[in-house]
Amino acid sequence: MDCLVIKGGHRLSGTVRVCGAKNAALPIMAASLLADGPSVIDDLPQLQDIQSQIELLRLLGAEVNRSADSVSIEVKDPSNSHAPYDVVRKMRASICVLGPLLARRGVARVSMPGGCAIGDRPVDLHLRGLEALGASVDLENGDIVARAKRLRGAAIFLGGNFGSTVLGTANVMSAATLAKGTTVIESAACEPEVVDLANYLRAMGAKITGDGTPRITIEGVDSLHGARHRIIPDRIEAGTFMIAAGITHGELQIDNVRIDHLMAVVDKLRTVGVLVVESGAGVRVSSQRNLRATSLTTQPYPGFPTDLQAQFMALLSVADGNSIITEKIFPDRFMHVAELSRLGASIHREGPTVIVEGPRHLIGAPVMASDLRASAALVLAGLAAKDTTTVNRVYHIDRGYEKIEQRLKAVGADIERMDEKELD
């Protein structure tokens, strides 16, 4: 198993380009199952999750050809509509084939995703939404089995105790494109990834309005054709590089950034003393002085994203003063707390809130990645820490950050990928 070995204390400087967004690409690739004819998706990141989605689409009868950062997808054999446990347990986002399969083929069988390192991950809202469109939904041998001859448009409320649901909105919106009549999704997720999916669906011939707001309206059509679509830049990767510049007191030009997708993050970075200015096709981020503490609460978009909470915690552990972080989307998403503490961070958790006492001088140690964003936080902390940090189980980070060590190295980090066994 690979690990990352980081010798901290180097200021990052130079230019880095952000990849296409994984979390936009996964539902968009799944939505290709709705089309008659081929689709081409551009600016796909080279990630394990994208590869898993390609394998799932092939299993579901699509011909998928990948070249550099593009992929073409065309359904050739619609006879298998089963996403089995082996696939879904590796990648929870496989759930986003449920709506497209049901709408296009009249049946979908998708293994019920379990919980994961970031806590409970129910799919009740996805299922309620599809039932409202007229599907029957059953649980058979651990699989969700959804059936409908033709879906019917309906008014659907997708709000839950923790806000709306991003992939649930993707599933219901995708399914409704082929329903008979009009669907209105209330309390829809407003995330840029949902808007990107809507743009793709529109290019395929769907009739959707209101995406990016809590009310999305979809007029069903009889069929959709393939389309070409470029994925939006990954706002979470961009935010991670911004924090990398801040935590190392460096200066990075980060290209391919939609700053309008990152307003809450930029606001917090500026509050703690990191300089962020728009520059060319991206942003220039630098930090020359001591950082200040702040408080932040994760929220649905356009609030501060849960997917940057762990990385910002690493930053706040070296900031001057006491910070407060409250996690409102996944209240148990704190696996990184114990690992950051191993590097010398002073963090106290009370339920969904943590207090970060700073500044702490981080000191390298072996640590364990538990999930994608937690591992990014550990890498960031390692960049700032004295001595050597070894981040084990980096397959987590490979799920969401393309060639992370090469890109950090190119801007001055001392970071190597090694086989854990070589270190024994």
> What amino acid positions are annotated as catalytic residues?
116
Residue from the set 3, 34, 166, 243 that interacts with ligand EPZ by CB under 6 A: 166
CA–CA distance, 219 with 224 (Å, rounded to integer)? 13
d(CA 311, CA 374): 7
Report, in Å, the least distance between residue 347 CB and ligand EPZ: 20
Taking CB under 6 A as the rule, does residue 241 contact ligand EPZ?
no
Distance from C-alpha of 382 to C-alpha of 325, rounded to nearest angstrom: 21
Rounded to a whole number of angstroms, the minimum distance from the CB of residue 309 to ligand EPZ is 9
Looking up tokens 């990152």 gives 262
Verify binding: residue 23, ligand EPZ, rule CB under 6 A.
yes
Of 85 and 344, which has the nearer Cβ to ligand EPZ? 85
122 binds ligand EPZ (CB under 6 A): yes
Residue placing its CB nearer to ligand EPZ in the complex, 98 or 218 = 98
Instruction: Work out whether 200 is an interface residue with ligand EPZ (CB under 6 A).
Output: no
Query: Which of 242, 365 has the CB closer to ligand EPZ?
Result: 242
Between 74 and 234, whose beta carbon lies closer to ligand EPZ?
A: 234
26 binds ligand EPZ (CB under 6 A): yes
- Considering the complex, what minimum distance in angstroms separates the CB of residue 169 from ligand EPZ? 8
Of positions 162, 180, 295, 338, contacts ligand EPZ by CB under 6 A: 162
**x-marked contacts with ligand EPZ along 354-373 as a string, rule CB under 6 A:** ------------------xx
For residue 323, what is the enclosing H or E element? strand 321-326
Pick 45 or 163: Cβ nearer ligand EPZ = 163
- Nearest CA among 239, 214, 227, 207 for reference residue 23: 239
Kindly report the backbone phi and psi dihedral angles of residue 117, in degrees, each rounded to the nearest multiple of 5, phi listed first: -60, -20
Amino acid identity at 160: G
Separation in Å, CA 148 to CA 103, 145, 334: 8, 10, 40
Omega prior to 214 cis, within 30 of 0: no
Tell me: does residue 124 bind ligand EPZ (CB under 6 A).
yes
**Window 47 to 106, contacts with ligand EPZ (CB under 6 A):** 93
- CB-based contacts of 353: which residues, under 8 Å, 6+ apart? 324, 325, 326, 327
The secondary element (H helix, E strand) that includes residue 404 is: helix 404-409
Q: Select the residue interacting with ligand EPZ from 8, 192, 382, 400 (CB under 6 A).
A: 400
- Subset of 305-344 contacting ligand EPZ (CB under 6 A): 306-307, 329-330
Is the CB of residue 250 less than 8 Å from the CB of residue 12? yes
Residue 163 is inside which H or E element, if any?
none
- H/E segment holding residue 185: strand 182-186
* SS3 assignment, position 58: helix
- Residue located via tokens 């496989």: 94
Under rule CB under 6 A, residue 186 binds ligand EPZ: no
Q: Is 160 in the site for ligand EPZ (CB under 6 A)?
A: yes
Binding site for ligand EPZ (CB under 6 A): 23, 26, 93, 118, 120-126, 160, 162-163, 165-168, 189, 306-307, 329-330, 372-373, 400
